[in-house]
Structure 1
Amino acid sequence: MPDHPTQSPIPHWAGLPLTAPLVMGILNLTPDSFSDGGAHPDPAAAIAHGLAMRASGAAIIDIGGESTRPGATPVPPDIEAARIIPIIRALAEAGVVVSVDTRNAPTMAAALDAGAAIINDVSALRHDERSAKLLAERGGPVILMHMRGTPATMNCQAHYADLLTEVTDELAARRDAAIAAGIAPAAIALDPGFGFAKIAHQNITLLRGLDRLCALGHPILVGVSRKRFIGDIAQVAEPAARDPASLAAALFAARHGAAILRVHDVAGTVQALRVSQALEPA
């Protein structure tokens, strides 16, 4: 039996009901993302893919213009914005709920102006000191992710005496800092940051311990799709071939309290969730 029901105790977030886990489709507009870098070489292809994910059941499309894989080179905000703003505008005008994966305040502002509804910051508002003030003024929802260091340094900082306690406490501290800056508690979702300053076995421990994070009282986003530790477990080297393994992890997360599932395979995840929920006891 699951430790947590699929229904979140939080009724809604970002204007979306949390009666079942929300599926967030990944749309990377980068040449160097670990799985799908360069997969959408022009705006028309990116927009078409975003619309296809929405048609397959994605509640949110998460758009990124800077890779944050381990060792990734930072992208200047103007280049990041140039990659994503036309796609954000087109999808938002089509009625898509757009989340923007960025850690730069100028990109956040431009994305919100273009119609983005959600900011998804892997640095939990640490990277750019202007971010918290901007989001407090704008008043929209934000996802705060746990990470130590930066994408360039995080692999050197995966040292924990008590992983679950330290991740929970550090994420709670970032939540508290956001609230102190004026961001509404109800606007905040939290992401444990799988693969960010965590090595393979630590990611497994973190996934098994989702109840500790759910106890913080915010929607929990789980993003494990195609990640290396999933490939290690499944013995699959190619990221794009890890969708079945990613789906198994997503269903586990949904059964243990995850409110948002960030995935590459939207159609497969939506179908699996429907069957899983239909088979649960009433």
Structure 2
Amino acid sequence: MRHTAVADPDSELTQAQLAARYGLSFAGDRPKLAAYTRQLWSYRHFVSAYATAKLVASFSTARLGRVWQVLTPLTNAAVYFFIFGIILGTRDGINNFIAYLCVGLFVFNFTSSTASGGVQAISGNLGLVRALHFPRGCLPLAVMLTQLQHLITAMVVLVGIVLATGEPITVEWLLVIPAVALQSIFNAGLAMGMARVGAKITDLKQLMPFILRTWMYGSGVLYSVDRFAENLPHPVLVEIVHANPLLVYIELIRHALLEGSPLSSPVPQLWIMAVAWAVVIGVAGFIYFWRGEMEYGRG
């Protein structure tokens, strides 16, 4: 009896062709940008739970616990008010300097803490990165969300300070919501960008305090930015200072909460710059982090 050989339809195909036919991909291959975005969205509950757990853990060893979320910004405000407002006299020409200073400190701290945490989002969690499979973007996003929770608590305190110092409640207070939303998008992109840089350059965390301190002095946190800008040698540098994203977000919230707060740019221009910074840094930081997705935790 003769047996007729049946040809294997896959025998003539290369490995690449077989992979394409059966929908296989390389182990550890970077997902497409759209697929990566969907992965992050599917992990949104993990990001929220992880951020809340980090927030609770950060005060777990303190006797007063999460009361320090309120005490820390208030203590910083008291110190800076004494040094800059009283001793150096930077409050001259600024109505309600206490509230002015608190807005600057609380809003600046939201971004500065996110940037510092973003630098260590990957390098400080290598055990988690190497042990579990998940989109690494969850970690810097959790950093931003943790700091957003800090800001929300601080804003409750800030409202009390603003009312106690005589500011009236106006409909413009509602503008704080879109301003914080835009700053959150900016911070998310910043955290993701800093996370990738920090994963490559682990010594960056040592430089961050100096970088952030310099950024603070150019952001009108402790005084009107005009005091800083008037000493710059070239008008182009003044324009750069006025376009500083942190100054933009700080001034938008000051304008919303405080009457007569000095502004470096017209309000419509501030909103345009706020949207532009959120879109540019939010998108660029996300793409930059995604491009390094398969590098994290190696080496």
Greater percentage in helix: 2
Asked if Structure 1 and Structure 2 have the same fold, meaning a TM-score greater than 0.5 normalized by the shorter chain, the answer is no
Give the TM-score of the pair, scaled to structure 1. 0.27
Give the TM-score of the pair, scaled to structure 2. 0.26
- Return the structure number with greater relative CO, CA threshold 8 A, min gap 6: 2
Greater percentage in strand: 1
Report the structure number with the largest CA radius of gyration: 2
